[in-house]
Chains A and B, each alone.
Chain A
Amino acid sequence: MPPTLKQIDDFLALKRIAVVGVSRNPKEISYRLWQELRQRRYDAVAVNPATTEIDGRPCYSSVRDIDPPVEGALIMTTASVAEQVLEECAAAGINHVWLYKGLGGGATSERNVEAAERLGFDAIAGQCPYMFLPGTPVFHGIHAVGKKLTGGYPKAS
């Protein structure tokens, strides 16, 4: 089921958010989105088991290790590992999760959407947060327009 704009607004109203699957490569979308959230004064916490810090910031191997805990998790891993991340989010007591999907794929799959429902999340499946951030760069705005034209943009309710 497509997410609603209210779900997206609720997620973006959170302050402390884990970004799971942040790359150390500044050209990768996960790194850019993590930086974007930080510049917008979110307390965006990096999660990537392959490293312990990114840009001098602590990077956690799992959402379960984050202290103090986060309110939500933006999952930017591949779909194949996202189900395990969902399990870890549930174990960490996180209520809000966003299974990222951009132009080049993401964490969303039918299996992961089912897992999110089974685990009781208020999950956003698909969509790229960039499209919903105020004053987003024009190319993300074009992505949103494309979604609206093809019916893939979230509805109000």
Chain B
Amino acid sequence: MSSATVVYRSATGTTRHLAEEIGAHLTSRGVATVVQSVGDCDPQSLARVDFVLLGCWTSGLFIVAQHPDGPWLAFVRDMPALDRAKVGLFTTYKLATGSMFARMRAALGGKVGRVELELKSRDGRLSQDGRALLDRFLGSM
């Protein structure tokens, strides 16, 4: 059985909700999945799983300068290089994600070969399109 860890940084609970829906979907596809906040997850544990999904709420001035916030960046700084895992990113937002994914990818630096998934949600719900993206993410292993 393959394994996944979904790590989230949530300010109001919306990103946590999305993380839990992502986790439930992965579990429904037969992937042993753990959902943890950046405060609970040991970054080193990510080196041992097949799929890693990293999520953060979109911080910024609503339509400009979107970026992941400090606790998410601190977690990524402590993360080892993920040679084994396929990595995806997700975020929740109010008006626009703008530069969010680009800033998240930049923060990952050389620790990740390629980001295979970028998933976003306004309300923390996982849409049908989001489920299809996740299925492709799993299927392209």
Contacts and interface: CB of A to CB of B under 8 A. Distances in A.
B74 A41 contact: yes
B61 to A, nearest CB: 7
B71 interface: yes
Interface in A6-56: 26-27, 32, 35-36, 38-42
A135 B59 contact: yes
B70 to A, nearest CB: 4
**A-side binding surface: helix, strand, loop or mixed?**
loop
B13 A36 contact: no
Interface residues of B, number: 16
Contacts of B12: 32, 137
Is chain B's binding surface mostly helix, strand, loop or mixed? loop
Contacts of A137: 11-12, 59
A104 interface: no
Contacts, number: 35
Nearest to A137: B11
A40 B37 CA distance: 10
Q: Which of B11, B12, B16, B59 has the most CB of A within 10 A?
A: B11
Contacts of A36: 11
B70 A135 contact: yes
Given A135-B59, A137-B59, A39 B10 contact: yes
Contacts of B69: 135
Nearest to A42: B39
Contacts of A38: 37, 39-40
A43 to B, nearest CB: 9
Nearest to B40: A38
A35 B11 CA distance: 9
Interface string B15-47: 010000000000000000000011110000000
Interface in B91-111: none
Contacts of A156: none
